[in-house]
A and B are shown apart, each in its own frame.
Chain A
């Protein structure tokens, strides 16, 4: 079986999805189900004080026997905040060590602050975390994060939540070619073809949230993304044909073709 190995874990699905921006926890749960994802991201936030005991919690809608949670550091702008958030997440999830690190540099573009990301990654790895790290598509930073011990490198395809697709396949290709840990496109996927392209490039997985949650029918889009990631992966493994520029090649035999009886019959 074609498993995705991240750190000490082996995962059956190459689609990782976020749980943000759904209309309800029920819809979140159904989207996870339809996507086939085995890893889903969650954010860590202050609890609402004064909520009643019966108030719903996201964790009640996720099958934790089947799904691995991936707590993130969304909203953190410094290494200190990110490390603090993930230590709390580890306590919240009873020692869980697989995490998504993202340290943002700018609230408008949500571009990563790579210098803070490097500092946080180093501290988290030394603290025993298995760090999947959101970063820019800079191949040098990607390699530095890998050398620090991150278990997956997750470059953006385009801005978080933008749905602009894969803007720089060339940089992604360099990162993929040089990495010895999984490379996962994180952010920017807008529709199924974007996910296919990412996987055909040789990405090990795709992480997305808004592409599914902001679709008119999130459940159907979750299924589309599941199929897209499988298709793209299969195409990558199969190895595509070479491109023949301006050189057609018939698929049917060129011999045994019945001759036209008469030139004038041609248009009959």
Chain B
């Protein structure tokens, strides 16, 4: 069991999962987001390899309307 923080919310998973698996679980279209783990930007090309670790602080952002 691991627990990670995603956009400030705690999420638990049975085991370590990849970012790509996380995207599927959260129903996120991954070409419309950018993601950082512990303030390090993770390139989209790494999503299928990078595993989430217990305690990771994950931020997922997208473009919204703004001036």
A→B interface (CB under 8 Å): 18-22, 25, 28, 41-47, 49-53, 57-59, 69, 71-72, 74, 84, 87-89, 91-93, 160-161, 187, 207-210
Q: What's the count of A-B pairs with C-beta under 8 Å?
A: 100
Which stretch in B13-21, B25-33, B48-56 binds the other chain?
A: B25-33
**CB pairs A–B below 8 angstroms (23 shown):** A19-B67, A25-B65, A42-B64, A43-B64, A45-B61, A46-B60, A46-B61, A46-B62, A47-B60, A49-B6, A49-B60, A52-B27, A58-B63, A69-B63, A88-B36, A88-B61, A91-B43, A92-B61, A92-B63, A187-B67, A207-B67, A209-B67, A210-B67
In the complex, chain A residues whose CB is within 8 Å of the CB of B6: 49
Contacts beyond the supplied A57-B63, A92-B33: 15 A-B pairs with Cβ under 8 Å: A19-B66, A43-B67, A47-B28, A47-B33, A47-B61, A49-B9, A49-B60, A57-B32, A58-B65, A71-B63, A74-B67, A88-B36, A88-B41, A89-B63, A92-B61
Closest to A210 in B: B67
Determine if B67 and A58 form an interchain contact, defined as CB atoms under 8 angstroms apart. Answer: no
Determine if B67 and A92 form an interchain contact, defined as CB atoms under 8 angstroms apart. Answer: no
Determine if A43 and B33 form an interchain contact, defined as CB atoms under 8 angstroms apart. Answer: no
- Take A49-B6, A51-B27, A91-B34 as given contacts and tell me if A43 and B60 are in contact as well, using a CB distance cutoff of 8 Å: no
In the complex, chain B residues whose CB is within 8 Å of the CB of A57: 29, 32, 62-63
- Contact check: which of A45, A207, A209 meets B64 at CB < 8 Å? A45
CA distance A41 to B64 in the complex (A): 9
